Amino acid sequence: MKYFLLVCLFMSGVSAVAQVGSIRGTVKTSDGAPAEFVSVGLKGTRKGAQSNSKGEFEIRNLQPGAYTVVISNIGLETKEIEAQVNAGEVTTLPLITLQENARELNQIVIQGAGEKYTTDRVSSSLRLASSLLETPQNIQVVTTEMLKDQQVISMSDGLIRNVSGAVRQEHWGDMYANIVARGSQIQAFRNGFNVVNSYWGPLTEDMSFVDHIEFVKGPAGFMLSGGDPSGLYNVVTKKPTGVTKGEASITTGSFGLLRTTLDLDGKLRTDGKLLYRLNLSAQNKDSYRANEYNDRYVVAPVIAYDLDDKTKLTLEYNYQRANMSNVGSFYIFSQQGFAAFPADYTTLPAGTPGTKIDDHSFYVNLQHSLNDDWKITGQVSKFIYQQVGHSMWPSVVNQDGTFVRNIGIWDAYSNMTMAQVFVNGEVQTGAVRHRILSGLDIAGKDYMADWGQSHDLDTPDKPFDPANPDLGMPATGYPKFDRETPLEERAQAAGGLQDQRYTSVYLQDELSFIENRIRFTVAGRYTQLQQSAWGAAPDKAKHFTPRVGLSASLTSQLAAYALYDQAFIPQTGIMANGGKVQPITGNNMELGLKKDWQGGWNTTLSVYRILKNNELVADPTDPTSGRSIEMGRKRAQGVEFDLRGTIVPGLNLVANYAYTDSRVIEVADGVTYPEEGSIVPGFAKHTINAWLNYKFRNGVLKDIGLSAGVTYLGDRATYWEASPDPDKELENYLKVDGGLFWEKEKLKVTLNVFNLLDEYLYSGSYESWMTDADGNPSPMYSYQAEAPRNARFSITYKF
């Protein structure tokens, strides 16, 4: 590390003798409003910039001389302005005025964005100032246009097809996302906050209030609090745009789906200093299985206020209400193997009490520009999750395959308070630009759950027969659990109390050399945390995680990068040997190539190797005890390729491939399972996805479009235990989708058919630990089937 720093200092000193200049300017519309997202470039060079929310832009590191500045945007007439750059000086251009007003410009930007599946930058909540092309990491963004074209309505609804290597396991329907990539479950973030407070969360976000989702591949511990070295996804919610507009939609489809959404965006003051955004949604949805339902309701208001030209305050609230059937009903159990029963098979009796969830999140965000080069951001969030619910699992498995269904209580409460403050800025030392990022993260998280009460639906002499299912009134009736006792007391008795506190500081410097052709990043984060769970005494840990990255522009549209990063991940549990729980530490090494192609599409190719230490797994000698062991060391390595964007006018494409190999390479002393060299559960070795969307631009089919998608998972691993019978492993997975749409001006009509081939799609695991009434082993297979062929039809109107 010290040699890297010495090299940087040396290069900074040498380059200081060179003197360069820059060009600044401001772009406004004809009504005096700032013009955002306007492209500004220098004719005959690869230099350029994009105007910010204030219409301002700056092009730096310019050699002295005469330049032609080109101002352009989709649907606008290109303007050219001559400018002279002098050594060590800033050339400020006269005010640039576009002929369009703010509303017209926004419509042009929206219409242009609708033709593309690409973006050049991530949200400010990721804290990165560089473009995606220049960032030394594989980051994929699922845009608003992708979500709409694919009719994605929640975080767990086929969204991961847009990202290489991502798979979903043990999903409980639409309750949690639980996304796995690069050999581990990736962390869930919202607006830059880590919203994970237990293995089972958070509640999947309804897409009505989501703008886009950012998938950060590989190490994320430095950028955003704690994070798994496999990566994270950051859900970015909708914010006011400053333009008065709206959108309403209605969607209907198979299995009783009826959904409506409303998106209102506008000004509360005519001067544009006080803005609002309001998103509403209501959904009723049944299932392809009997007695299941999932109704969702959303209210998400946002207020943004410009206190002055340099300070902006944003207040936001997201509320989600979920009324679901018993979440354990998604499991199918069989001693015969996977896919033993039809996809619509269920063990859930009619009238079984369901699960109700109230999910609240509050945000306060304050941004202040100290000057043209430095900005400070502070934000605070509060997440409150309340659940009154039930799950279901066999309590006794007989040797003949019959079993006793058991309803378990699952009441839970989660309370998270998180705060962040960070500074972004730039410093010029000669020809070297330094992009500085420094900040502080603080969080307190509490989770409690009562899963200590249960009720058998069947009797030992009359168990449930999966070959002849009876979904009528259970022999023992429905459960009546104690909910008079406060949840905290019940959770403590059940061992369901968890808490976590951490404070973290970090510093990063991205040094740019040779007119930004080479970028070297050096960073570090120091974290202190305290946590406890499962009735154990609090654990404390401290750790420093370094980060080193290198990005080089081989051409103006091609960049290569290398990255080394470490992660520090808190984990909770009670050790079977009575020892102390250690945090997970991980190392990641990654190499990649990024290419922006002419016409509006890009590709990313990356290879990686991840090592993880100290990860806990359930005690294999007694998986239901709640006690854990340290597995040893895991290694995940692979290759990922992503392509997205407009290939030719009218044709938008997302395609990706991932090869993943995740194994246990060392086991701790005394560990008998898993064995060294065994595959880590929960991934697919080969993952292939594609989605294309084509709109006819001329002729009799003008304004009509076609959509098609495919997902293939090869050499899948179960999500818990591998089957002891090689003939009863998970089969390869193939899903094909297709659709039609018609879009003209403000109206769009979409019809998609999912699982066109009506394949039996499922994921599952072997459960060796199940026993019969006498305690003898009686293993079963558990799996969750996906929907057979189904359709969605939606009408969207913009106003």
The string of DSSP codes covering 285-310 is ---SSTT--EEEEEEEEEEEEESSSS
Per residue in 68-99, is it b (16+ CB within 10 Å) or e — as a string? ebbbebbebeebeeebebeeeeebebeebebe
Distance CA 562, CA 704 (A): 43
Chain mean position to CA 683: 17
| Joined tokens for residue 417 | 């308070």
Q: Which of 521, 581, 579 is nearest to 551 (CA)?
A: 521
Q: Are 587 and 229 in contact (CB under 8 A)?
A: yes
Distance CA 616, CA 280 (A): 41
Alpha carbon distance 176, 185 (integer Å)? 12
Cis amide prior to 674 (ω within 30 degrees): yes
pLDDT < 50 stretches in the chain: 1-18, 74-75, 107-115
DSSP summary character for residue 161: G
Three-state DSSP class for residue 100: coil
In the chain, the N- to C-terminal Cα span, in Å, equals 55
State how far the Cα of 137 lies from the Cα of 216, in Å rounded to an integer. 8
Residues facing 418 on adjacent strands:
381, 443
Q: Are 1 and 546 in contact (CB under 8 A)?
A: yes
Nearest by Cα to 8 from 557, 430, 420: 430
For strands 210-217 and 139-142, give the pairing. antiparallel
- Please give the pLDDT value at position 171: 63
Is residue 216 within 8 Å of residue 120, measured between CB atoms? no
pLDDT the model gives residue 272: 87
Model pLDDT, residue 457: 96
Three-point CA angle 79, 85, 86, nearest 5°:
165
**What tokens were used for 374?**
């430095």
Do 532 and 566 form a contact (C-beta atoms < 8 A)?
A: no
Amino acid at 122: V
Separation CA 275–CA 263 (nearest Å) = 14
774 Cβ neighbours under 8 A, 6+ residues apart: none
Distance, C-alpha 580 to centroid of its chain:
31
Closest CA to 59 of 36, 43, 78: 43
Identify the three-state secondary structure at position 2: helix
Task: Provide the strand spans (E) within 126-168.
Answer: 139-142, 167-168
What does the pLDDT read at residue 101? Answer: 53
Distance separating alpha carbons of residues 128 and 124, to the nearest angstrom: 7
Residue holding tokens 């002499």? 461
* Cα pseudo-dihedral 717, 720, 724, 729, rounded to 10: -30
Cα–Cα distance, 451 to 465 (Å, whole number): 26
Measured in whole angstroms, the distance separating CA 363 from the mean position of its chain's CA atoms is: 18
SS3 state at 389? strand
Among the listed residues 214, 163, 157, 171, the one whose alpha carbon sits nearest the alpha carbon of residue 191: 214
- Cβ(782)–Cβ(765) under 8 Å? yes
How much is the pLDDT for 58? 85
The closest of 586, 591, 738, 624 to 187, measured between CA atoms, is 586
451 token code pair: 């899963």
Coil, strand or helix at 746: coil
Number of Cα atoms under 13 Å in the Cβ half of residue 228: 23
Tell me what pLDDT residue 16 has. 37
Joined together, the tokens standing for residue 137 give 């990491």
* Alpha-carbon gap, residue 319 to 298, rounded angstroms: 6
Amino acid at 703: D
Quick: pLDDT tens for 171-227: 677 888 889 999 888 889 999 999 988 877 789 999 999 999 999 987 665 665 556
pLDDT at 34: 80
User: What pLDDT shows up at residue 496?
Assistant: 85
Element (H, E) at 536: none
Diameter of the chain measured on Cα atoms: 92
